[in-house]
Amino acid sequence: MSESDATARRRQRTIFWVVTLSTIALVFDGYDLVIYGTILPTLLADPGQLGAITPGQGGAIGSYALVGVLVGALAAGSLGDWIGRRRIMLINLAWFSVGMGVTALTRDVTAFGIGRFVTGIGVGALVATVGALVAEFAPAGQRNRLNAIVYSGVPAGGVLAALLAIVLTDAVGWRGLFWVGALPIVLVLPLAVLKLPESPKWLASRGRFEQAKTLAERTGTTLPSASMEPPGGTRTGFPALATKALGWPTVLLGLMSFAGLLLTYGLNTWLPKIMNDNSYGKSYSLTFLLVLNLGAILGGMAASLWADRAGAKRVVATTFVMAACTLAMLPLSLPLGALLLAVAVAGVGTIGTQVLIYGLVSNYYPTRARAAGVAWCAGFGRLGGIVGPVIGGVLIGAGLGGTTAFYVFAAVAAIAAVVTLTVPRAHQTEEELPVVASTADGPHPEQASAGR
């Protein structure tokens, strides 16, 4: 076996473990974010579980996890560019698992709410970190594809939560479902300790060049030239985002994520209710949600392949337009088959688009600001995740009906498409560019894909 073949095999093995462990982590994140909704009817109906809970309190408790996600994402952004991606991943796999286990042991509403908030911190930190980690190991022509695989773990975890709730609730109760969410500390964390490497690019960005070189050789990773200074100069983390080169793009990318998560949480919360009000029976509720999320997973993967060729920005703008069109169609009297197709496409344009946004953001920033950039978009976007369900609730509570909610969501998607098109092209330097040969027609297309 030649040295180049051995290096390629080491690189493939490293990418496999990075992508696999990151995906599994986000599957459990998606599980956590959805499992509360599956047990809420039990908590509302049976005061013997945690005490009497009103619907208003139930909704507030649901938001505690989202606030925790915001805190966790911003904390990971502050620390991830300073202490490394691997440490953040390992710490928060344990944090998240302990949070789920502690929540399973709670006996009153206050303790349960605190448990949800603490668990959310771990969720947010993982969501904000895996994008930076994957971007720094993925080959240039596969970055959007691998990010899509990893972030599709979130809707996949949601599907898993819904299915396990149906199958296991009678056998293990709601506490047992939370213990399932605590499994990463025994099933995933030990494997991550053994198999998850630190990013050589991050080590190099911190001036630890000998360690970076040694780790790059062991993992088969190529270290690009560091002779050019990346955007943000010598600033690291959030301070780099405030520089002239990155300030305006950071605002626009945050707005894109805000819109994507507003649509994601708004639809996941209100789609069953709205469709039920439009004369579809309750039996269709799970079907519509499954179609929405499966459409996001499959369509998001297909869109990520396109993004690796045409550029993520162009594809995100297109999928936002797809969301605007299909959301405007959902109130129409469509045949059931056409309606399900429209819901699937809406899943691509909302949840699937958010997956693509994470990929775009992960590849937009230089190494020294990457964790902060992803954390900013995950954290600020989470505010959209809080606003989305509120918009639906206000419109429906005001008697305006689900039709108006769909039109409002469609307008948000259309505005987000325009915002996406205004994002400046990513400034790439020798530090960030992969080492690839130029072609007769100019630079290899992989070098220009991240910010188009």
Among 181, 197, 213, give the residue marking a domain's end.
Answer: 197
Q: Is the pLDDT of residue 384 over 90?
A: no
* Average pLDDT for 77-101: 88
Going by pLDDT thresholds of 50, 70 and 90, the confidence category of residue 85 is confident
User: Looking at the chain, how many residues does it have?
Assistant: 452
Same domain, 165 and 272: no
Bigger pLDDT: 114 or 148? 114
Could you tell me which of 383, 345, 439 has the C-alpha nearest to residue 257? 383
Report the C-alpha gap between 447 and 311 in whole angstroms: 10
In a domain, 1, yes or no: no
Domain identity same for 191 and 265: no
- Is pLDDT of 448 > 70? no
Which CATH number covers residue 190?
1.20.1250.20
Answer whether residue 224 is part of any domain.
no
Answer whether residue 111 is part of any domain.
yes
Question: For the chain, what is the mean pLDDT?
Answer: 81
Residue-wise pLDDT tens digits, 247-284: 899 999 999 999 998 998 888 767 766 776 666 665 56
Q: Considering the entire predicted model, what is its pTM?
A: 0.75
216 lies in some domain: no
Least confident range of 66-70, 189-193, 220-224, 437-441: 437-441
What is the distance between the alpha carbons of residues 304 and 149, in angstroms, rounded to a whole number?
A: 9
**Quick one: 237 and 181 in the same domain?**
no
Do 418 and 292 sit in the same domain of this protein? yes
Q: Do 150 and 263 sit in the same domain of this protein? A: no
> Which long-range contacts link 276-284 to residues 24+ away (Cβ below 8 Å)?
277/396, 277/401, 277/402, 278/331, 278/402, 278/403
Q: Are residues 246 and 131 in the same domain?
A: no
Q: 188 and 312, same structural domain?
A: no
Residue 108 belongs to some domain of the structure: yes
- Whether residue 227 lies inside any domain: the answer is no
Q: Are residues 126 and 270 in the same domain?
A: no
Q: 312-329 and 336-347 are packed helices; what angle lies between their axes, rounded to 10 degrees? A: 150
pLDDT value at residue 434 = 42
Q: What is the pLDDT of residue 414?
A: 96
In angstroms, the CA 311 to CA 129 distance is 22
User: What is the tens place of the pLDDT at every residue in 189-239?
Assistant: 999 999 998 888 888 877 888 888 888 888 887 766 543 444 445 666 778
In the predicted structure, residue 392 carries a pLDDT above the cut 80: no
Regarding whether 260 and 169 lie in a shared domain, the answer is no
- pLDDT of amino acid 97: 93
More confident residue, 393 or 7: 7
Which structural domain, as residue segments, surrounds residue 50?
9-197
One domain for residues 188 and 259: no
In a domain, 27, yes or no: yes
The DSSP symbol for 445 reads G
- pLDDT of 338 higher than 80: yes
Regarding whether 237 and 193 lie in a shared domain, the answer is: no
Asked whether residue 324 falls in the same domain as residue 443, the answer is yes
CB 250 within 8 A of CB 378: no
Coil, helix or strand at residue 37:
helix
| Domain final residue pick, 197, 218, 244 | 197
List, for residues 161-189, the tens digit of each pLDDT value.
878 887 887 888 889 999 999 999 998 99
Number of folded domains that form the chain: 2
